């Protein structure tokens, strides 16, 4: 089991309730895949460093989790097929 962290950004056109429902969905993917969620940090709506898909801001969320090496691949697939996710990043935590 390794520690990972993922940061993803939702479109600002979504309602905050929809964003929080999707965060719960992603937590479910991690927990149903055999991982454990260590921390969820919802940053809210923030300005982007550069324009993405004609958006200048988005809803940021950071999740720290522990899992085997296959779960980040599945989580990345779920990010790609979820409407409203404009960017995501999953990295192994080296601490």
Residues in the chain, pLDDT under 50: none
List pLDDT tens digits, range 77-92.
Answer: 999 999 999 999 999 9
- For residue 32, the tally of other CB atoms under 10 A from its CB is 10
The Cα–Cα gap between 93 and 91 comes to: 6
Residue spans of the domains in the chain: they are: 8-37
Q: What is the pTM of this model?
A: 0.90
> Can you tell me whether residue 16 is helix, strand or coil?
helix
């Amino acid at each position: 089991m390794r520690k990972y962290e993922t940061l993803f950004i939702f479109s600002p056109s979504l309602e905050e309730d929809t964003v929080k429902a999707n965060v719960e969905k992603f937590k479910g993917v991690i927990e149903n895949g055999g991982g454990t969620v260590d921390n969820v940090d919802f940053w809210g709506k923030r300005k982007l460093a550069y324009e993405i898909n004609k958006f200048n801001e988005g809803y940021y969320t950071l999740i720290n989790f522990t899992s085997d090496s296959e779960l980040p691949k599945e989580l990345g697939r779920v990010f790609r097929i979820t409407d409203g996710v404009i960017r995501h990043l999953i990295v192994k935590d080296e601490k």
